[in-house]
Amino acid sequence: MKKEEKLKPVERIYLSSSDLERMERDILNRRHIERYAMVRQWCHGNVLDFACGCGYGANLVSKNPDVKKIYGVDIDEPAIEWANENFSNDKSEFICQDISQFDKEIDVLVCLETIEHIKDQTIIPDLAERLEIKNLFISFPSKKTTHYNKFHFYDYTTEQICELFKNYDLVDEIDLHREVKILNFVRK
């Protein structure tokens, strides 16, 4: 029997380690993009994408005709340079800035997979209060991640996030793939 015949049994998928790694990264990237594609349907007016990274999420949100302007803010200069080079359009503005200095009028805050990265738990709630933002979309891992992701400082529950945003009512909770929760808040 030839070696090739031995490697082709019925109902088997042969992948190399590099194939598997590439596919897993693709799934993770697609799921992150999916989160932005999902929340953009509820965005309107002036939107702030807090910790926008390289700008792809803000670009997706900008495609909603109800969005007047989206501001992508991040403290990482190379990420903002990338965003400006690759995702800039007439409805988006990418800003390299500490969020405490941001002072534009905002209707909707999009903060996806960020809150668990910030040591100071008051930064995002203080921002929402200071700018009197009407709607918030906050996402976070719905499973424990601090034990394997060195960039995560907290493992949150929905109740803990709600406690941080006391002047907001939780109007929707989406448990996406049982790995990430997206919470939609409206100002009281």
pLDDT in the model for residue 37 = 96
Query: Domain for residue 26, yes or no?
Result: no
Residue range 144-149: average pLDDT?
92
pLDDT digits 0-9 by tens, 6-19: 665 567 888 999 99
- The CATH number that applies at residue 124 is 3.40.50.150
Query: Domain for residue 78, yes or no?
Result: yes
Q: Is the pLDDT of residue 156 over 80?
A: yes
* Number of separate domains in the chain: 1
Residue range 69-84: average pLDDT?
98
The sign one gets for the Cα dihedral 109, 91, 103, 107 is negative
H or E element at residue 175: strand 168-176
For residue 135, what are the domain limits?
A: 44-187
Alpha-carbon distance of 93 to 80, in angstroms, equals: 10
Query: Domain for residue 1, yes or no?
Result: no
Query: Domain for residue 5, yes or no?
Result: no
